[in-house]
Structure 1
Amino acid sequence: MLIKEYRICMPLSVDEYKIGQLYMVAKHSSEQSQKGEGVEVVRNEACEHEQHGKGQYTEKRVHLSSRLPTWLQSFIPKIFYVTEKAWNYYPYTITEYTCSFIPKFSVCIETRYEDNNGSSDNCLSMSVESLAQRTVDIVDIVNDPVPEKHFKEEEDLSKFKSKKTSRGPFDKKWMEATEPIMCSYKLVKVKFEVWGLQTKVESFTQKSIRDILLLGHKQAFAWIDEWIGMTEEDVREYEKQMQEETNKRVLGSRSGSTSSH
């Protein structure tokens, strides 16, 4: 098992980030679902936890077979999806990814959001054993390069300035002086128990997760003028609308491709 802790700072408060994250996930899922390769929402309902209180449970199917590297595509069927189960007790969340076709593969992500610049050493209350195994990786949404195919000039935060909040652009040392600032602490555990492929798959998965976190958080801030000022009710309504459109696209495309075979 490969354990990493990602720390992603944002020029937002924890309360603002709650809205921005919901907006970003809904919009990003919709953008990725153009050709049946995207996110199908199976369940989205309220839940409750003894310790963390009331929250939201979502279950999604992430259809992505053609996006996998060729060496992994070779033994995975074309109709392939990963199941994502998420329990959101904001500012604490748990997300699990599994794949019925590869039962020995799983990803578990624990997240806590705090109003600081990544200075908490163990806000996820990791065990001594996990602390000894983890690697801390600072994901810098301003200075870390995104893959060229995802680069958009309007999402370059070293040049972007929000019209509604006047935040940005940011320099190389932005995490030391920016106000407000919050940090998303993500403990990611990747497990793939197949001899000979374990290290390769676990490393590839962690690299993919880092790329997704970097791009998603850059976009959440670059889109701030679209969502700042929304209430949670507003963003839940937007999320519902995007989910309905996305499900139609993903399911419609998949039934069309199935019937054509």
Structure 2
Amino acid sequence: MKIFILRTFLPFTFEEAVQLYQPCYESNALSDKCQRIRNERIIHDDGETEIIHEKILEYTSYIPKGLKLFLPKNAAVFREEIRMKGMRLTRKFTSEWINDDLLLYYDIVFVEGKQEEYDLDMFDLTDEEKKILTYQVFDLGEPVEQDLKSFKSSADPNHFVSSITGRGPIFQGWSDQINLNQKNEERKENEDKEKEKENQTSFDSTPIITEFRLVRFKFKWTGLQTIVEHLAPGVIHTILGNGHRQSFCWNDDILGKYYQSKNYPIFGKQAAEEKLKYALEIRAQYEQQQQEQQKNKKKDYEK
């Protein structure tokens, strides 16, 4: 079994994350094919609503070419069960191909602010699991590999500005540029005071939350177990990374509907295009300066 925790910083408020990471959205866009077979809401005695969502998904495009030769056509077809209650979400994938010999399980917790430390008490881990547990980090702004076939160019945070919130573009290391000593509410309160004179409510321009995703992966198949379990963490990392990119770039319609009834000034499509153009120009100048500095250092070293 492979077990790891993936930590991701996201430029959303808690309220926005609830809207954007609904079970009915994420895997639909990530998979090659999707068939919904269950969608149910249950109100518990404590008043909280739990969403239960089940789908049949196909992920054939994510399987490396060399591995496809050894697998049947339905090897990448999974049954997904999702349960979401509050800001905790679990996703369980099973395969009809090899039944209990394959398991992919996510346990997801959203935490307010930027939390770099991994709190294992958030998850139900055995002592044996803690011994083999590894850690991964995904940066929403990290450049995408050019040969990544599952990547959608329209879901590139490096080339996107939200027409609703005006956030973006996002580049690698973006979270380091935020004043981490202020909580989201404090930043929003300060911005609201600035806008109060104009009788407007402003967006929190730089919110940040942390997603911790515990991933369990098990594969038992004679001759392939070592290969598949070796490749699986990288493939899963790619799938989850694509999901976060799409959540940031593809959901202006959801945020627009969410903020429609609120007194929030929409950033606007034209303003978003202008901001993106300007940001990319500044980024290009910065990268050129970095290249020139590296060349100068190399020349000095050669001397």
TM-score range, shorter chain: 0.7 to 0.9
1:183 aligns with 2:179: no
2:80 corresponds to which of 52, 77, 84? 84
1:66, 1:73 within 8 Å by CA — same for their partners in 2?
A: no
Q: In structure 1, give the amino acid aligned to 2:52.
A: Y
1:54 aligns with 2:49: yes
Q: How does 1:2-151 map to 2 (within 5 A)?
A: 2-22=2-22, 25=25, 29=28, 37-47=32-42, 53-65=48-60, 68-70=63-65, 71-72=67-68, 74-77=70-73, 81-103=77-99, 104-122=101-119, 124-127=122-125, 128-146=127-145, 147-151=147-151
Q: Classify the secondary structure of the residue corresponding to 1:106.
A: strand
Q: Classify the secondary structure of the residue corresponding to 2:25.
A: helix
Does the C-alpha gap of structure 1 residues 162 and 67 become closer, same or farther in structure 2, counting only changes over 3 Å?
A: closer
Higher gyration radius (CA)? 2
Q: How does 1:187-206 map to 2 (within 5 A)?
A: 187-206=214-233
Q: In structure 2, give the amino acid aligned to 1:61.
A: I
Higher mean C-alpha deviation, range 163-172 or range 150-159: 150-159
Q: Classify the secondary structure of the residue corresponding to 2:108.
A: strand
Q: In structure 2, give the amino acid aligned to 1:105.
A: L
**What do you get for the CA RMSD once the two structures are aligned?**
3.1
Distance 1:96 1:29 in 2: 15
Question: Between Structure 1 and Structure 2, how many residues are aligned?
Answer: 228
Distance 1:193 1:50 in 2: 40
Does the C-alpha gap of structure 1 residues 229 and 112 become closer, same or farther in structure 2, counting only changes over 3 Å?
A: same
Q: In structure 2, give the amino acid aligned to 1:135.
A: T
Q: Classify the secondary structure of the residue corresponding to 1:44.
A: strand
2:4, 2:216 within 8 Å by CA — same for their partners in 1?
A: yes
2:140, 2:171 within 8 Å by CA — same for their partners in 1?
A: no
* Deviation readout 1:192-212 (Å, 9 max, x if unpaired): 123432221123222221111
Q: If the length of structure 2 is used for normalisation, what is the TM-score?
A: 0.65
Task: Give how far 1:24 is off.
Answer: 8.3
Q: Classify the secondary structure of the residue corresponding to 1:143.
A: coil
Task: Give how far 1:75 is off.
Answer: 4.0
Q: In structure 1, give the amino acid aligned to 2:82.
A: A
1:117, 1:181 within 8 Å by CA — same for their partners in 2?
A: yes
Q: In structure 2, give the amino acid aligned to 1:124.
A: M
Identity %: 23
Match of 2:252 in 1: 225
Q: Classify the secondary structure of the residue corresponding to 1:149.
A: coil
Distance 2:71 2:153 in 1: 37
Q: In structure 2, give the amino acid aligned to 1:84.
A: E
Structure 2: runs of 5+ lacking an equivalent: 179-205, 260-303
Task: Give how far 1:142 is off.
Answer: 0.3
Q: Classify the secondary structure of the residue corresponding to 1:229.
A: helix
Task: Give how far 1:5 is off.
Answer: 0.5
* Deviation readout 1:57-85 (Å, 9 max, x if unpaired): 11111134576445345442459721111
Match of 1:238 in 2: none
Does the C-alpha gap of structure 1 residues 129 and 118 become closer, same or farther in structure 2, counting only changes over 3 Å?
A: farther
Match of 2:290 in 1: none
Structure 1: runs of 5+ lacking an equivalent: 233-261
Does the C-alpha gap of structure 1 residues 62 and 205 become closer, same or farther in structure 2, counting only changes over 3 Å?
A: same
